[in-house]
């Protein structure tokens, strides 16, 4: 199943009071395995950047003034999202800003039935524990040392790892999906019809050894079977 993990950065906390989305980062997963495909964009919000918001993500009004407006990137974004379930941390916040931007340009809102909230999942799995992205990364041993400030794509990448852990851990994606990512991950796995090759290629592959019984072995086996008294297969 295809899912998209995403995160946003904004000018504040309330889209209905004039706050805008200024960055979005999306990671594609199929069968809970990252495919390597992503979408990332900054947006010019046509407004100032409050200092408290800039301290969180480091995006200044001057930097964003050179970026396209949401309407200029919306088609590419919606094409990437497709009809996949959308996973976010405290997802109602991100959905609120994304749908507010869509509403401003007369586009249809994204149905909330597609929303998967990792905070809600974490609350069920770890009641009473801290549920921030940082806290969950620490719980699951996910390296976030490069996260100096919030960033939509970086946070989506971290959340993708957390999401896998919240759903059972990394072993759930081993060879169980029909996708290019899974094909790559399992390409070296031996099958009944394919010989095993050492990944390093440091030894030549040997031909399979014969395992058929020789005529002498078959003769000895027949004599042994004939000597069994009251064999169950003769009853």
Is the CB of residue 144 less than 8 Å from the CB of residue 154?
A: no
The CA R_g of the chain, rounded to the nearest whole Å, is: 28
In the annotation, is 146 catalytic? no
d(CA 28, CA 165): 16
d(CA 12, CA 52): 8
Categorise residue 210: left if φ over 0, alpha if ψ from -120 to 50, beta otherwise: beta
d(CA 147, CA 189): 35
Tokens in use for 91? Answer: 């997802």
Residue 194 CB contacts under 8 Å (≥ 6 apart), including other chains: none
Question: 40, 57, 150, 221: which is the annotated catalytic residue?
Answer: 150
Q: HSE (CB half, 13 Å, CA atoms) of 107?
A: 16
Q: Residue 202, SS3?
A: coil
Is the CB of residue 102 less than 8 Å from the CB of residue 74?
A: yes
Active site residues: 150
């Amino acid at each position: 199943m295809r899912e998209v993990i995403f995160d946003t950065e904004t000018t504040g906390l309330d889209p209905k009071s004039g706050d805008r989305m200024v960055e979005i980062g999306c990671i594609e997963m199929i069968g809970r395995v990252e495919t390597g495909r992503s979408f990332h964009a900054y947006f010019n919000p046509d407004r100032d950047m409050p200092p408290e918001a800039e301290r969180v993500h480091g995006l200044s009004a001057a930097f964003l003034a050179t970026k396209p407006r949401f309407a200029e990137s919306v088609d590419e974004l919606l094409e990437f999202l497709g009809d996949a379930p959308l996973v976010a941390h405290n997802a109602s916040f991100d959905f609120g800003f994304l749908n507010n931007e869509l509403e401003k340009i007369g586009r249809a809102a994204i149905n909330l039935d597609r929303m998967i909230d990792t905070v809600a999942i974490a609350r069920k799995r770890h009641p009473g524990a801290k549920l921030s992205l940082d806290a969950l990364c620490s719980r699951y041993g996910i390296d976030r040392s490069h996260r100096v400030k919030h960033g939509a794509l970086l946070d989506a990448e971290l959340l993708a790892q957390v999401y896998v852990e919240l759903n059972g851990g990394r072993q759930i994606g081993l060879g169980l999906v029909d996708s290019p990512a899974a094909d790559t991950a399992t390409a070296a796995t031996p099958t009944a019809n394919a010989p095993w090759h050492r990944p390093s290629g440091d030894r030549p592959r040997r031909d399979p050894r014969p395992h058929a019984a020789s005529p002498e072995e078959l003769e000895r086996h027949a004599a042994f079977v004939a000597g069994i008294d009251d064999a169950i297969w003769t009853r």
